[in-house]
Amino acid sequence: AQSVTQPDIHITVSEGASLELRCNYSYGATPYLFWYVQSPGQGLQLLLKYFSGDTLVQGIKGFEAEFKRSQSSFNLRKPSVHWSDAAEYFCAVGYNNDMRFGAGTRLTVKP
Amino acid sequence: DGGITQSPKYLFRKEGQNVTLSCEQNLNHDAMYWYRQDPGQGLRLIYYSQIVNDFQKGDIAEGYSVSREKKESFPLTVTSAQKNPTAFYLCASSSYRDRSTDTQYFGPGTRLTVL
């Protein structure tokens, strides 16, 4: 069955530390891949997306993501986390005129 | 400012009542969507509309209804048939009609609580 999985429900990192949020998908072909961020009580905002080409994608707010076909993954990274990055992060997968969102990973940033 | 507005921000409903959530966009987008968000479950699609006067059921349409009489407006009615309506509801829009590739722009959401 087609699915998108974010294995980590909650991650805590210290401010200034690096961050990696995981996203795996299960589709017959390579889908379109997105990362969105949701600040508390707000809607979602697109961070970045991957359709084709260079497998390392740069987004807003200093985030990047790497597509790895062999691992069916599209992990989100940031070299140095800021307190304002505390939010919930959703991986989304687009395929065949459909869009599916992962369950989300909540990021807490420690001072 | 262009964007999506949702109202009200908080809504309380008694059991057995229908309530309507408002969603308006001034982005001139063709497509609009309603999602329900519950903790640990991500976003689940309720209804979507890719053009005025047309809409399609999503994964969890039971107990909900929508209309799309104007391009900029896509109200959602939560009916008394919805067994567990307490949730955070998000409206979104996108430029085109390919749900696979369109960036979706989200409103700030409405939190509905059934008392």
What confidence tens digit (pLDDT) does each residue in B9-64 have? 999 999 889 999 999 999 999 999 999 999 888 899 999 999 999 999 999 999 99
Q: What percent of chain B has pLDDT over 90?
A: 83
Q: How many CA atoms lie within 13 A of B32 on its CB side?
A: 31
CB-based contact, A59 to chain B, within 8 Å:
no
Mutate to test the interface with A, among B4, B94, B106, B110 (most CBs of A within 10 A): B106
Q: What percent of chain B has pLDDT over 70?
A: 98
Distance from CA of A33 to the nearest CA of B (A): 9
pLDDT higher than 80, residue A17: yes
- pLDDT value of position A69: 93
- pLDDT value of position B6: 97
Distance from CA of A93 to the nearest CA of B (A): 7
pLDDT tens-digit series, residues A26-82? 988 889 999 999 998 889 999 999 999 999 999 999 999 999 999 999 999 999 999
Mutate to test the interface with B, among A101, A105, A106 (most CBs of B within 10 A): A101
Contacting residues of B for A46, CB less than 8 Å apart: 103-104
- Residue pair A63/A35 in contact by the 8 Å Cβ criterion: yes
- pLDDT value of position B40: 82
Distance from CA of B46 to the nearest CA of A (A): 12
- Residue pair A47/A105 in contact by the 8 Å Cβ criterion: no
Contacting residues of A for B109, CB less than 8 Å apart: 41-43
For residue A29, the tally of other CB atoms under 10 A from its CB is 6
* Among candidates A43, A97, A104 on the partner chain, residue whose Cβ is nearest the Cβ of B109: A43
Q: What is the mean pLDDT of residues B84-97?
A: 92
- pLDDT value of position B41: 85
CB-based contact, A97 to chain B, within 8 Å:
yes
Distance from CA of B80 to the nearest CA of A (A): 25
Taking the C-alpha atoms of residue B106 and residue B99, their distance in angstroms, rounded to an integer, is 14
- pLDDT value of position A91: 97
Taking the C-alpha atoms of residue A74 and residue B89, their distance in angstroms, rounded to an integer, is 27
Q: Name beta bridge partners: A107.
A: A11, A87
- pLDDT value of position A82: 97
pLDDT higher than 70, residue B1: no
Contacting residues of B for A104, CB less than 8 Å apart: 40, 42
